[in-house]
Amino acid sequence: MKISELELSKLPMVMTSSGEAMMTFMNIIGSAKESLLRILIQGEFSEYPDEQSMHSTARLADMLSKFSDNLQAKPEDATEFLMDEIKVLEECKCIGLPNFIPRSAFLAILSQRVDGIHTKPVDFIKRIWEYVEDVISSVLTNHSDNFPQIQSSIKRAGRNLISKIKEQSVNRVIEIVEMEKQTDYTCNPEYMTVYTQKITNQGDFITNVQRKCYFGYGNVNISHLWKYDAQLLRQAFDMNVRISAYWTIVVRRIVDNLALYLQFTVKNLVNSQFQKEIVAEMVNPEGGGEVEKMLEESPSVAIKREKLKNSIKLLKESKDAVSAIVDRNSA
């Protein structure tokens, strides 16, 4: 009987007013928010010790690490060595001194590089929010388990919130990537260090081309460059070195910016947006709304409650009957 009484006490109370329903709903959202704070921000997973997918700070770190490796991976050369640079230089040439590299040429090559990877950050941020949506759905399901009549509505509210944040995030990530095409700038001294080291190979490279060597600058085939004059080759080589030195900084900056943005938006979601947005979607200020469904006990809970009450009543009657028999026998 004690077990039945314990199970009965665990069932949600029968609510008779909108105030009780609202108070219970706010407790559900508040407890869900606390869980998300622990899971998504603080890195605790005591609520889901055996579900690795809910160890969110670790999973987010894994996703960021894979994205970083993928973005920084050296792409396969689609064209022959220096041909992209030569084509751009020939189209950006103007009447002027021959030993100046047009900045427009550098930005054109940089823009091509950025366009080549621009889908990767967007795909990454979409995957992040799809994962966060799954976490929020699991947490909301867990905390509203006693009220199946509102589970679908509360999970839908969570999906709508993530959908809105995902759209905002995609737009922000597109801006982060597009900014790299507008200005070639860094305060990182590594750029000049790498450039200075690599440009020292320029003289030997030009000499190898003029001698009609098949390979130069390592194992790179350079026979296709024999027909170009030395001045154009110097400019193309110089621009290639600049792009190589700068590109490492660009991709790292994109990764860093996305990491910072991700941390900021996840914290903002949990601390500022989650409770406010879910409540706004579930509660009608003029009365009613999805929360009112909590006044109607779900059939499954009602049946379980009735069974437990009947079981307790039957057990109590049996206990009383046994006690009466014992008393008669003792008399």
pLDDT digits (tens, 9 = 90+) for 283-329: 876 555 777 777 666 566 556 555 655 565 665 656 666 666 666 66
CB 225 within 8 A of CB 211: no
- Residues above pLDDT 70, as percent of the chain: 81
Residue ranges per domain, the chain? Answer: 2-297
| Assigned superfamily of 2-297 | Dynamin, middle domain (1.20.120.1240)
pLDDT digits (tens, 9 = 90+) for 228-269: 999 999 999 999 999 999 999 999 999 999 999 999 999 999
Higher pLDDT, residue 96 or 184: 184
CB 93 within 8 A of CB 223: no
pLDDT digits (tens, 9 = 90+) for 58-68: 999 999 999 99
Q: Which helix (H) or strand (E) holds 216?
A: strand 215-216
Q: Which helix (H) or strand (E) holds 74?
A: none
Q: What is the phi/psi pair of residue 104, to 5°?
A: -60, -30
Q: What is the DSSP string of 219-233?
A: TEE-GGGTTS-HHHH
pLDDT digits (tens, 9 = 90+) for 134-165: 999 999 999 988 888 888 889 999 999 999 99
pLDDT of residue 264: 97
What mean pLDDT is predicted for residues 188-201? Answer: 95
pLDDT digits (tens, 9 = 90+) for 205-230: 999 889 888 777 678 888 999 999 99
